[in-house]
Structure 1
């Protein structure tokens, strides 16, 4: 299989939709992804990036594998230590508010339905030399009962091929199939397994180069990956939030012995639109902020 590199001729980049239009929603349904330009304002992007520095410095609370920074260390030095922080919403009110961002929620209610809940956030720093993630589908990691998983990938810097933007395989979500996975030791990627044996070639991939503030909204079955930040300087920061229909149970994580898998419902969630038909179950505080492993310190699998 050909490897996607800067030397492979790329297909045209994505359409940047100026508003939450019918065309955007149709593209998400047909291609599995769409881009909302200016989803966040420059001021909102700057506020999140400032919060990212505080998280990496350890100023907002404990994060697994984050070492509190010294006063003599610059924000850039500290952020370069880490590839990604999972569940930053647990410590940052600024990031927690992005679950409810009106422009993104507008898209979600049109794609998913009127009742929407969130269950995960991930804050990527991805400085020069940091790896990407091999081909994967988000539903592989976060299984929903009704195939409603949807990501909002918000660019906090201009995302380019050079600094490790997303690459997607348009239409790969349509079959609703989760493909096989295997371990990989490719230095271009972090510790996550890669999916393979799907009916697409790397040269079918489209680079999603977008400006800061734009949001890529994509289906949980869409095959996508990213390559390393090969730029000579700078970050490729991004905030990814995951959403699904509130009607669906979420059999995520280890199912306790007392539950049948068909009835287990992970309840560390937040309602972002409409009603939660399972509100009577209450909300649990389960997930803890942690740093994604990127092979520099071993993968621990």
Structure 2
């Protein structure tokens, strides 16, 4: 889909954009089913062991907060998430016609599970051109009660803030928090299942604990302009000026550095939180 001038200007001013219903009901249902397949260990991986078949869906899902890089094991995540044509078209309108993806995260976030404190995605995935963009696909309605995103509009125009351990494990998972700014202007981003939230890697955002009795599932993929090198997860002795992470998926346009070839570096990993540790 093409973006209107108003949408592009809004993204430039605020650092985020909600596109309602960009993921179809069929996309959402298939991604929900695949979330369960991943959590049940249907796709062979050492971090995703097969679950007892007698366990209910709820009993299975409550073992997970977030799964990193699910696209490395799931063709459904690749097709309907990472490579979603409508999402790729929006990204082309925001960051340029050649777009690459380097990461996916599948949030399960059951009831009573923690959110993530203030952070900027560029802290973790440092691009050279500030083009890092998240595409947050809602697989459930996301509300204040079940832990929707909260954002500080306009902060994408600023700097990357330092991080420190936070002191609120009842509210947030164990990831550190960004600090040194006024968060009095934060706003919730409540969306319906199938809506997609796009946000710049410098935008300050967080989510709170799920205080409802429903899940807040979401698939979040990270993209950037394919022409910019990505000095991420650099090897020892590698120069930041030449480093270029090549475990990527081209989702729109062409790969200007195809001559470098691709790598298989990322692996599935699991994020934990207080709610999970208390279950062990």
TM-score by length of 1: 0.88
Contact 2:140 2:217 in 1 (8 A): yes
Counterpart in the other structure of 2:8: 25
| 1:247 paired residue among 227, 235, 245 | 227
Counterpart in the other structure of 2:243: 264
Contact 1:60 1:92 in 2 (8 A): yes
CA distances 1:45-101 after superposition (whole Å, capped 9, x unpaired): 00000000010011112152x442101101121011100100110111111112221
Counterpart in the other structure of 1:220: 201
1:184 aligns to 2:166 (yes or no): yes
Check 1:19–1:282 CA distance in 2 against 1; reply closer, same or farther (3 A cut).
closer
Counterpart in the other structure of 2:214: 234
Which shifted more, 160-169 or 281-290?
281-290
1:115 aligns to 2:98 (yes or no): yes
Contact 1:25 1:107 in 2 (8 A): no
Check 1:85–1:270 CA distance in 2 against 1; reply closer, same or farther (3 A cut).
same
Check 1:163–1:19 CA distance in 2 against 1; reply closer, same or farther (3 A cut).
farther
Counterpart in the other structure of 1:204: 185
Counterpart in the other structure of 2:263: 284
| 1:91 paired residue among 45, 54, 73 | 73
Contact 2:63 2:276 in 1 (8 A): no
Which runs of no fewer than 5 residues in structure 2 stay unpaired? none
Give the superposition deviation at 1:169. Answer: 0.2
Instruction: Return the alpha-carbon distance in structure 2 between the equivalents of residues 257 and 57 of structure 1.
Output: 36
Which runs of no fewer than 5 residues in structure 1 stay unpaired? 1-17
Instruction: Return the alpha-carbon distance in structure 2 between the equivalents of residues 82 and 117 of structure 1.
Output: 27
Counterpart in the other structure of 1:294: 273
TM-score by length of 2: 0.95
Instruction: Return the alpha-carbon distance in structure 2 between the equivalents of residues 180 and 71 of structure 1.
Output: 45
Instruction: Return the alpha-carbon distance in structure 2 between the equivalents of residues 19 and 115 of structure 1.
Output: 15
Alignment of structure 1 residues 134-149 onto 2, 5 Å:
134-149=117-132
Instruction: Return the alpha-carbon distance in structure 2 between the equivalents of residues 79 and 282 of structure 1.
Output: 36
Check 1:22–1:190 CA distance in 2 against 1; reply closer, same or farther (3 A cut).
same
Give the superposition deviation at 1:185. Answer: 3.3
Alignment of structure 1 residues 46-85 onto 2, 5 Å:
46-64=29-47, 66-85=48-67
* Aligned-residue CA RMSD (Å): 1.4
